[in-house]
Structure 1
Amino acid sequence: MAGSAGSAQAPPGQRRVLAALALAQFICSFAGSNMNVMINDISRDLDTTVQGVQVAITVFLLVMAALMIPGGKLTDRYGRKRCFVTGLVVYAVGALLSAAAPGLGVLILGNSILEGIGTALLIPPVYILTTLLYPDLTSRARAFGIIMALGGIGAAAGPLIGGLITTGISWRAAFVFQALVIAVIVWLSRHIEDPLPPDPDRSFDTTGAVLSAVGLVLVVMGILAADNNIWLTIVLIGLGVFVLAWFLRSMGAKERAGQEPLLSLGLFRNRTSNLGLVTQNVQWLILMGTSFTVAAYLQVVRGYDAIQTGVIFTAATLGLLLTSLSAERLARRYPQRTLIMTGFVASVAGVAVLVALAGSFSSAWAFVPGLVLIGLGLGVMLTPSVNVVQSSFPEERQGEISGLSRSVSNLGSSFGTAIAGTILVSGLSKGAYAAAMITLGVIGLGGLAAAALLPRTPDATAPAGDTPASTPRKRT
């Protein structure tokens, strides 16, 4: 009889395990944002355009979102540690290939494809292992707080770190830096012990994996095409919605036939989890959309270099770090719903302040108050949103919900970059910048509305008919 999440003992070197998981989230988030300050350097070196670099950034985020559900499902069959380490190796190969890229095509292969695949394999185990190893709400909040803090820092400080490396050495060295961090994570992962044994006989729904990936790709590519051809956008998004509907219908048919689908439709019957997923999507949309919009504006319109751009983003990083690392204390004092709503209010207010001050003053300091507010808001709500979703399901469904949760979050990152980037490349001016940020703020209000519908009490997070992940449950 395998130990449950509730009874699992902390493995030796648990701090090193948490460090490995947190660093993994850091480097993947870093990869999604550090290229924002390399736009000019990469486009000049590889003889491409701003749009070309935007495509590389968006494809990386898209590959993560498209493959995260299959990646989460594979953990049940091959084990969480094996998928984690395999993902790290694939990621490292992609980083080194990107560092040596002679052109945009190879950069997309290394950064967008291989790093995206590696991330889709290694990120679901991060959230599954954390949920299983930390059974109660406050300890899990602390662990997720550290992981989300590192993830948020990777996304928010990516421009600064990437800017320092790019200016001091070259943009290629930033990918070597990623490979070195991966080596450290692999070394730390020696201490990871999988709380649940893998099930080699577990089936894998290849058809479902293909349908889900194709549908997501079509939707995001449709958004990217908006600045060139609105009819192409309509066609691509329409096809994407059709394929995703086909995917969901296929999942339902497999369940009725007694087969195991890639994704159980029962996951979507939990209202609390559904609302939590919406908040996750919008949070990462705001974070990555803001990162891309502000970085592109500062470099292309105001002519700032990579370091100057990265230094400005330090404001968001500090705000996010301050509130993320307080996740355990905040979880003990306030309901998760309150924290998520507060985060959205602060983030939307930050967007408004950013647009108002940046449009009125030419100084770089005009960006600081808004970015601080956005960082504080995101740091407050990233951890409780993850906790709401993960804690809504028992341990045997953690592979599915972790894959779905990370897919939804990374899809938000893709949407943020695609939507904001599409508005920006239509005319890189103060007007386009303001329009992109206002769009992100309006979407943030939608996230606030979803958060307001969350249950007021923690007990309401448990799905009907399921045992919460925070409740001990024996497995035979």
Structure 2
Amino acid sequence: MTKRILAPLALAQFVCSFAGSNMNVMIKDISDDLDTTVQGVQVTITIFLLVMAALMIPGGKLTDRYGRRPCLLAGLALYGAGAVLSAVAPGLGVLILGNSILEGVGTALLIPPVYILTTMIFTDLTARAHAFGVIMAAGGVGAAAGPLIGGLITSAISWRAAFVFQALIVALIVVLSRSVPDPVPPDRTRHFDTVGACLSAAGLVLVVTGVLAADNNLLATALLLAAGVAVLAGFVCWVRAEERAGREPLLSTALLRDRTSNLGLATQNAQWLMLMGTSFTVSAYLQVVRGYSAIATGLIFTSATIGVLVSSLTAERLARRWPQRTLIMAGFALAVAGTAVLLALAAVTNNPWGSVPGLGLTGLGIGAMLTPSVNMVQSAFPQERQGEISGLSRSVSNLGSSLGTAIAGTILVAGLTGHAYAVALVVLAVVGLLGLALAALLPRTTMKTAAAG
């Protein structure tokens, strides 16, 4: 029974993470087929990740009002429709509608229920830790294996077939999800903070758009970032006003007052920024500068997939032996070391397989810290807060993914023929060092096997 419940939840996390990275090896094929540019594909990927980040918090709140399972199924339906539309897209605009908008909104609806249902169904601490280990492993492998699977499908058939593959997985999840119960009935009387949802989404969109504009107009970047910060500050003020008035806001300020949770969220953001930033940087460099095919690029990324898989699947065992803080710090150290190896080997060899050791170390590090970070954040709050914290946690992670692709892509597009590859990797290494510093501030005395919810 447990496996039947866990399988669709893990697959849902896999396909959404896969969607965020598999297009990285299709950059050249899509740009040629749709008569667009590397920047056009980068914008498509970034908008997909950004829509997820912007709508994840509202998506989490909707589960309380309409139910976890109905939101999961609605999200799967939207995602599947987006995948089919992307597969037949005649141009970049339709691809953005299908992949970036429909799949992005679908993901924002279906991912919060995955985490909330896991928390509610797996009540035993050990069982919950195991369940989240499997789900985070599926997510990490989806992100890391995206280039390999996408490369294989693109080379064997077409980049369009990769979207058909996603639609088929979604159909399988819908069938398997029949065994997933919804432990708590929906409450249609729950208030939904529409103003708060609009403010939070607008603020995140402005921030990431500002990063994307950096390669063309630094003044526009400064203005967009300032506007984004102002709107997010307005969101915080609105939330406080709603609480003072006795109404339920989109996000309780209580979620922002827990030091451990805040640090855990910051490390999640840095982890996904590094993972998606590295994936886009190396993929674009190998295809556009080195001229490698989608399949060759995907095969090179196998080492990252193996690294994430090994460390993610051993997360439960590691959590019994080491504090979560130690695992997160070790993960950042390995990821930064992997970035350094990528830089060093790129400087001394033109062999395409020179990227393998660095990607392997990066994958190993990311996989080691994904589950502990989620455990620390979700375990900091009671069950009645799980809808909010799940949405916030996934929003912060997807914002990291968006920023990773946006920052790396902006640097690369600004100068693919110069030292842009090295600059992008250095920036990602700095993010890793900041993540390591934040992880060092986490409490030393957290449970080794915490409740992952």
Pairing partner for 2:172 from 161, 180, 184: 184
User: Matched residue of 1:457: which SS?
Assistant: coil
Partners of 1:72 and 1:284 in 2: CA distance: 20
Deviations 1:199-229 (A, max 9, x none): 1110100000011101100000000000000
Pairing partner for 1:107 from 95, 107, 117: 95
User: Matched residue of 1:458: which SS?
Assistant: coil
Of the structure 1 ranges 423-432 and 253-262, higher mean CA displacement relative to structure 2 is found in 423-432
Letter in 2 for 1:170: S
Aligned to 1:244: 232
What is the CA-CA distance between 1:369 and the residue it aligns to? 1.0
What is the CA-CA distance between 1:141 and the residue it aligns to? 2.2
Aligned to 1:91: 79
Letter in 1 for 2:98: G
Is contact 1:455–1:461 with CA below 8 Å preserved after alignment? no
User: Matched residue of 2:186: which SS?
Assistant: coil
Deviations 1:364-391 (A, max 9, x none): 2211111111011011100000000010
TM-score with structure 1 setting the length: 0.93
Quick one: percent identity of the two aligned structures?
Answer: 73
Partners of 2:274 and 2:452 in 1: CA distance: 29
What is the CA-CA distance between 1:460 and the residue it aligns to? 11
Partners of 2:244 and 2:229 in 1: CA distance: 23
Partners of 1:209 and 1:163 in 2: CA distance: 37
Letter in 2 for 1:235: L
Q: How many equivalent residue pairs?
A: 453
Aligned to 2:254: 266
The residue correspondences of 1:205-244 to structure 2 (distance < 5 A) are 205-244=193-232
The residue correspondences of 1:332-351 to structure 2 (distance < 5 A) are 332-351=320-339
Is contact 1:67–1:120 with CA below 8 Å preserved after alignment? yes
Partners of 2:179 and 2:55 in 1: CA distance: 27
Structure-2 change in CA distance of 1:371 and 1:460 (3 Å): closer
TM-score with structure 2 setting the length: 0.98
Structure-2 change in CA distance of 1:203 and 1:461 (3 Å): farther
Is contact 1:273–1:461 with CA below 8 Å preserved after alignment? no
Matched, 1:134 2:122: yes
Deviations 1:242-291 (A, max 9, x none): 11100110000000110000001110000000000000000000000000
Aligned to 2:410: 422
Partners of 2:400 and 2:112 in 1: CA distance: 16
Letter in 2 for 1:45: D
Structure-2 change in CA distance of 1:18 and 1:30 (3 Å): same
Deviations 1:409-456 (A, max 9, x none): 000000000001110001113611010011000011111111111111
RMSD, aligned α-carbons: 1.4
Letter in 2 for 1:380: A
Partners of 2:335 and 2:129 in 1: CA distance: 21
Aligned to 2:439: 451
The residue correspondences of 1:2-151 to structure 2 (distance < 5 A) are 13-151=1-139
Pairing partner for 2:149 from 133, 137, 161: 161
User: Matched residue of 2:175: which SS?
Assistant: helix
Is contact 2:126–2:449 with CA below 8 Å preserved after alignment? no
Deviations 1:150-203 (A, max 9, x none): 111111110111111111111111101000000000001000001222111101
Letter in 1 for 2:263: L
Aligned to 1:375: 363
